[in-house]
């Protein structure tokens, strides 16, 4: 490969969209002040709940809540539509992630 081809390839890779998604899992004693992060190869404005689920790095079944500003207050927003674009705060995606657990089928409510 010539130097010119290498430079072109490097420029193409640098031009590819890339977004860091920040998250914490309270059950794991994670702290929002020092969040975990993973990358999604899309622009921040194009990321949907389906993208979040597809690229999430931990194994298991999770519920995702997104930090959102509403009337100058921070709230955690739940989404149901997988094609919905996720909310951002200061152009960042910040999530609180909880593990889903199956209901105990042996429990009887008397």
Q: Is residue 76 part of a domain?
A: yes
The boundaries of the domain holding residue 66 are 16-99
Q: Is residue 65 part of a domain?
A: yes
CA angle, 15 as apex, 22 and 88 as ends, to 5°?
30
Digitized pLDDT (tens) for each residue of the chain, 110 residues in all:
566 655 555 555 556 889 999 999 999 999 989 999 999 999 999 999 999 999 999 999 999 999 999 999 999 999 999 999 999 999 999 999 999 875 555 545 44
Q: Is residue 33 part of a domain?
A: yes
pLDDT at 101: 72
CATH number of 37's domain: 2.40.240.130
Domain count, the chain: 1
Q: In this structure, are strands 93-99 and 36-40 parallel, antiparallel, or unpaired?
A: unpaired
Distance of CA 30 to the CA centre of its chain: 15
Q: Is residue 4 part of a domain?
A: no
């Amino acid at each position: 490969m010539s130097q010119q081809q290498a430079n072109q390839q490097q420029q193409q890779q640098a031009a590819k969209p890339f977004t860091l998604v920040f998250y914490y899992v309270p059950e794991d004693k994670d702290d929002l002040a020092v969040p975990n992060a993973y990358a999604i190869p899309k622009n921040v404005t194009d990321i949907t709940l389906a993208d979040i689920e597809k690229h999430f790095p931990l194994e298991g079944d999770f519920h995702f809540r997104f930090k959102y500003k509403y009337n100058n207050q921070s709230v955690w927003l739940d989404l149901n539509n997988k094609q919905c674009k996720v909310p951002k705060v200061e152009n960042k995606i910040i999530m609180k992630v909880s593990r889903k657990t199956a209901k105990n089928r042996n429990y009887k409510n008397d």
